[in-house]
Amino acid sequence: MPATEINYDGLVGPTHHYGGLSPGNLASQRHAHQASRPRQAAIEGLDKARFLRSLGVAQAIIPPQHRPDIDTLRRVGFTGRDHEVLANARREDRSLLACAASASAMWAANAATVSPGADTHDGRVHFTPANLVSQFHRSLEAPATARTLRALFPDDAHFAHHLPLPASMRFRDEGAANHTRLTGAVGEPGVELFVFGRDIDDRTSHRPRRFPARQTLDASRAVARAHGLHPQRTLFAQQNPAAIDAGAFHNDVVAVGHEHVMLYHEHAFVETPTLTTQLRSAYRRLTQRDPLLIEVPHAEVSLPDAIGSYLFNSQLVTLPDGAMALVCPAECRERPLTHRYLERLEARGDNPIAQVHFVRVRQSMENGGGPACLRLRVVLTDEQRAAAHQGVMLTDELDGKLRAWVERHYREHLSPDDLADPRLLEESRQALDELTTLLDLPGLYDFQR
């Protein structure tokens, strides 16, 4: 059945800032409390989406969430009118204010796990919004993400929406950032690979010592079960604790897969040979062909280099002529080792990666989010695509309107002190209110009801 992989990019919200909120995410820690540039962040995201469209990739956007999240600040005990709630939070606990103001929903790879209809028991596209419970600021996203996904994929005949997994340590879930699909071609069934950081029962002895493992095996299994995936085409693999401790808080920082290709770091997984054997045989059973598993040796690109450059957080996409392009963060070009590796990969001729491109998403990168973090891949048949909400599909016209909207509403700079500014709350509301008209999503936000 004809199908398309659509990249739904998280549109950066007006409160983008550096809160230092994610332990284990080195960039977030490094840039903590620096001034941010929300307008630049949003434009960089739109530039990336425009560039991908120029390569022939279908693009849509996921609207930002409403921040600062006053309701959450009230739930944790701050009282008064909105501006008092903000001022009290700033006085008593700045980190809570930073959490409530985080624009972290921009990293759409953490919005949900998505299984295309070709993989699920009932032929519908299944969505499980990630509960993101391992980081407080990110856990705030789940309810609004669930509502947004229902608005973007509204027809029960085509789309199945699950609740986020129970909000407990046992079911820590970070969505598509720990989920890869290998398939013969878009629209065909695939092998779904779920990568977890920790088995909560410690049925294995591997676990990170320095930084949190943000995905559990129980969560991955629960999502696979809920989506009705075929057991023979579903694999679970553990992330190497050494990778987590080196700063790979999600698997998409050390591996990327698309169609029949997976590019991964030598130290990405525990027991890599077992995993690659399982992947090959599941893939072969499904397609009668071999997948192309490209292991990047530590000797060529060290784990710190991979994490520093976000080499694996690149987007691997199919071009209209069937070849592939790897769209990397500009940081990969700035580091001689990764740049040289990419030049060799492009020139090698033993893989379909015919083009390597670099995009600049600096503001997101400084919080630990590269190009691949900013998008959620959704494979839709033509019929499903027609049933999806059309207002968020990127066209030249919508792109132009969004740029003008960003210029009108976003601040150029934001410092940690600005987060309690009641005018920022008002500006964000106005911006989002107008956005719902641009995207034809009336009443998306609570404050509009």
Can residue 65 be called a binding residue for ligand SUG (CB under 6 A)? no
Catalytic residue among 66, 250, 267, 339: 250
**Active site (annotated) includes residue 250:** yes
Burial class for 361, CB neighbours closer than 10 Å (0-12, 13-18, 19+): buried
Can residue 368 be called a binding residue for ligand SUG (CB under 6 A)? yes
For residue 144, what are its two tokens? 């609004």
Nearest residue to 117 (alpha-carbon basis) of 155, 65, 82: 155
Give the nearest distance from C-beta 282 to ligand SUG in angstroms: 24
**Active site (annotated) includes residue 179:** no
CA separation (Å) from 116 to 3, 13, 74, 227? 10, 28, 38, 9
CA atoms within 13 A on the CB side of 151: 19
Can residue 131 be called a binding residue for ligand SUG (CB under 6 A)? no
The edge-to-edge listing of strands for the beta sheet with 292-296 is: 255-258, 261-265, 292-296
Can residue 133 be called a binding residue for ligand SUG (CB under 6 A)? no
For residue 318, what are its two tokens? 């199919």
Can residue 180 be called a binding residue for ligand SUG (CB under 6 A)? no
| φ, ψ for residue 271, nearest 5 deg | 50, 60
Binding to ligand SUG (CB under 6 A) within 223-252 occurs at 249-250, 252
Residues written for the chain: 449
Between 28 and 234, name the residue whose CB sits nearer to ligand SUG: 28
For residue 11, what are its two tokens? 């549109």
Catalytic residue among 174, 259, 266, 331: 174
CA atoms within 13 A on the CB side of 380: 25
**Active site (annotated) includes residue 334:** no
Among positions 146, 237, 373, 376, the unique one binding ligand SUG when judged by CB under 6 A:
373
The edge-to-edge listing of strands for the beta sheet with 58-62 is: 58-62, 3-10, 375-381
Can residue 18 be called a binding residue for ligand SUG (CB under 6 A)? yes
Can residue 177 be called a binding residue for ligand SUG (CB under 6 A)? yes
Can residue 253 be called a binding residue for ligand SUG (CB under 6 A)? yes
Sketch the per residue contact string, 321 through 360, with ligand SUG: x for CB under 6 A, - otherwise: ----------------------------------------
Q: Which residues are known catalytic residues?
A: 174, 250, 373
Q: Which residues are near ligand SUG by CB under 6 A?
A: 18-22, 25, 28, 102, 104, 107, 109-110, 135, 138, 177, 249-250, 252-253, 367-369, 373
